[in-house]
């Protein structure tokens, strides 16, 4: 599932544009497969994921998390809890940050996990009962999440830059360059 790109386009893309260009074909393929899937979507998800390179896996899981979590403090809280309730996904996001040698975001994920566990998150996904409104109902929880979300917003652009730099120097895991 390596995307093809002309050398000139690859070299001219800004960091966020490269980050998105390598992700877009993956998410489109994923969504297409999910639409076609009528019965066992978890099996289809696993098959899709297995077809990705290690780099694409790392990019895919982080990008999905980032796209949702960046929207607001409530979204950051909910999506972090949601993925934490699915240990394979949460672990994949953290492993992805290690793959990209992205320690600041990895440490933030670890800290977020500790805070969520302090507030009895996650339940197993089958019993997932986290609500975005939890932050309105629990001022202590909200106060604990707020600095994490602020920090997420501060470091996310640097994470995207470092992931893009990684892609530039290891493009064969993401892009086939055509001259």
Inside any domain, residue 38: no
Query: Average of pLDDT values for 153-158?
Result: 98
Overall residue count recorded for the chain in this entry:
179
Tokens of 73: 């403090």
Inside any domain, residue 43: no
Inside any domain, residue 85: yes
122 has a pLDDT exceeding 80: no
Tally of domains within the chain: 1
State pTM to two decimals: 0.93
Query: Average of pLDDT values for 68-86?
Result: 96
Inside any domain, residue 116: yes
Q: Of 3, 39, 55, 60, which is closest to residue 166 (Cα–Cα)?
A: 55
Inside any domain, residue 76: yes
Inside any domain, residue 60: yes
The Cα–Cα gap between 153 and 156 comes to 5
Q: How many helices (H) and strands (E) does the chain have?
A: 9, 2
Structural domain of 11: 3-32+53-173
Identify the three-state secondary structure at position 179: coil
Inside any domain, residue 158: yes
Inside any domain, residue 139: yes
């Amino acid at each position: 599932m390596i995307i093809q790109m002309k050398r000139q386009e690859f070299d001219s893309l800004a960091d966020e544009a490269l980050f998105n260009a390598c992700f877009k074909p993956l998410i489109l393929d994923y969504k297409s497969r999910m639409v076609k899937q009528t019965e066992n979507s978890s099996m289809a998800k696993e098959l899709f994921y297995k077809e990705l390179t290690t780099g694409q896996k790392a990019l895919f899981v982080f990008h999905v998390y980032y796209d949702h979590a960046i929207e607001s403090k409530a979204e950051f809280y909910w999506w972090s809890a949601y993925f934490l309730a699915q240990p394979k996904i949460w672990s994949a996001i953290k492993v992805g940050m290690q793959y990209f040698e992205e320690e600041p975001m990895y440490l933030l994920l670890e800290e977020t996990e500790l805070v969520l566990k302090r507030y009895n998150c996650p339940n197993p996904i089958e019993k997932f009962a986290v609500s975005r409104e939890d932050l309105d109902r629990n001022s202590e929880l909200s106060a604990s999440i707020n600095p994490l979300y602020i920090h997420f917003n501060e470091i996310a652009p640097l994470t995207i830059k470092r992931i893009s730099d990684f892609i530039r120097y290891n493009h064969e895991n993401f892009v086939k360059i055509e001259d």
